[in-house]
Amino acid sequence: MTEATVEHVDILIVGAGPVGLTLHLALATGGQQSLLLDRQRDSVVPGDLRRGAASPLGVLAAAQNDPRALALSQGTRQLLEQIGAWPKRAATPIETIHISQKDGFGLTLIDRNDYALPALGYVIRYRDLAAALTARLAADTIIAGAEILTLTTDDDGVEVTLRQDGAVRRLKTRLLVHAEGTPDDEPAVQVSDYAQHAVICEVTPNPGHAQRAWERFTPDGPLALLPLGGEFSVVFTLPPTKADSVMAMDDAAFTAALQRQFGRRMTFSKPGPRRRFPLALRLRKTLVKGHEVWIGNTAQTLHPVSGQGFNLGIRDAWQLAEALLSEGISPASLARYAASRQLDRRGSAFFTDRIVRTFSNDFAPLKLARGLGLLALDLCPPARHFVAKRMIWGARAWP
């Protein structure tokens, strides 16, 4: 059997999730070609999402079946606009955020009017975001349904052997970007388990949501309701055994459980399909090694409590694109990239980790302190603005 010839590519991005896709498009906008590779096959996307699409590709099958919704910051919207991938029609603006704790005093309200912004953020289905990004791809820039067999590094780069449709291909790249999403347990990744699972689904609220997002802290974990079209996207965080039973409930029992956790300010009906995600903080110790770099969830996976994950991942993609476009592919540009990401990723991880660990318990003194904290946020605008700005702008709000 003859061996496959080696194909050469400057930058190979492994993982065509929203972070890998953003990097590819940001590089293309600056005139730098790259090749995407994903283990998922692409599949057909409904006509309305594909209208005006330049690419013959569908969205990857896994993305199409993902019922998750993401809260995106103003900063993320601006970056997506710059690469022509802001899915305006699919995005629901958040005008206010209501933060409270179950069975305890103290609440605060963050209002877009205090920041002279059209919205505090936007909610969008993961699949609609993936479709908007995929629609910008040029033909022949993605290898879908590919399984990586080997990775071999030498002085010039990384050689990748892969299998696609039964055929073996060999690629040689000067830079391999890892954007494969949440990593498994491995020594290169520091893991801190939250012993919580997020059960997600969509429900219809009555009365309507009025563009308000709710963040409700409970001893089981945070409950978030994000306005999405006429629905709420629910992130119902629970200890694993309670998540087992919530996943097994019929729709009526599930709606009642959600209602108990949320309270009586509104009622819910018509729950959609449910899916669960185990939650842990995963921080990769090193972002760059030789000719490889890690971005997005594979670099850091956070608890979804304050909706930071993709907002952080897109900043990884953007800063890496900027470094490569201005300084080229070199050890120095990669080292500078890695150093430039530390404050943002560690600050965001610390911020979400503290929120989860402080709020997810029933310890009476902490409950009192939480109530006082929420009251202080409400009565003290500078403290409220500190929290709000991190939600609206992410990294740009750090000192």
Ligand X SMILES: Cc1cc2nc3c(=O)[nH]c(=O)nc-3n(C[C@H](O)[C@H](O)[C@H](O)COP(=O)(O)OP(=O)(O)OC[C@H]3O[C@@H](n4cnc5c(N)ncnc54)[C@H](O)[C@@H]3O)c2cc1C
Other CB atoms within 10 A of residue 342 CB: 10
Does the protein bind ligand X through residue 222 (CB under 6 A)?
no
Q: Is 394 in the site for ligand X (CB under 6 A)?
A: no
Burial, 116: exposed, middle or buried (Cβ in 10 Å; 0-12, 13-18, 19+)? Answer: exposed
Q: How many residues bind ligand X (CB under 6 A)?
A: 34
Contact stretch for ligand X (CB under 6 A) within 9-17, 204-212, 343-351, 373-381: 9-17
Q: Does 13 bind ligand X (CB under 6 A)?
A: no
Least Cβ distance, residue 198 to ligand X (angstroms) = 4
Measured at CB, which residue is nearest to ligand X? 17
Complete DSSP assignment for 77-98:
HHHHHHTT---GGGPEEE-EEE
Distance in Å, CB of 301 to ligand X, minimum: 7
Sign of CA dihedral 261, 126, 317, 177: positive
CA distances for 154 relative to 7, 176, 291, angstroms: 16, 12, 9
Structure tokens at 394: 């992410």
Return the number of the residue (235 or 374) whose C-beta is nearest ligand X.
235
Q: Is 121 helix (H, G, I), strand (E, B) or coil?
A: strand
Residue 58 engages ligand X in binding (rule: CB under 6 A): no
Q: Give the C-alpha separation, 227 to 249, whole Å.
A: 24
Smaller CB separation from ligand X, 225 or 334? 225
Measured CA distances, 341 to 2, 174, 319, 347 (Å): 44, 22, 8, 10
Task: Tell which positions 345-384 bind ligand X, by CB under 6 A.
Answer: none
The answer to whether the beta carbons of residues 287 and 296 sit under 8 Å apart is no
Of 11, 12, 13, 19, which one interacts with ligand X (CB under 6 A)? Answer: 19
Applying CB under 6 A, among 11, 53, 57, 70 the residue interacting with ligand X is: 70
For residue 69, list its beta bridge partners: 125
Give me the least distance between CB of 379 and ligand X, in Å please: 28
Give, as ranges, the residues between 259 and 288 that touch ligand X (CB under 6 A).
277
Q: Which of 307, 323, 338, 370 binds ligand X (CB under 6 A)?
A: 307
> Rule CB under 6 A: is residue 313 a binding residue for ligand X?
yes
Q: Per CB under 6 A, which of residues 143..162 are in contact with ligand X?
A: 148
Distance CA 314, CA 83 (A): 12
Instruction: Return the range that interacts with ligand X (CB under 6 A); candidates 17-25, 283-291, 344-352, 375-383.
Output: 17-25
Which residues in this chain contact ligand X in the complex, by CB under 6 A? 14-20, 37-40, 60, 62, 68, 70-71, 148, 179-182, 198, 200, 235, 277, 296-297, 304, 307-311, 313
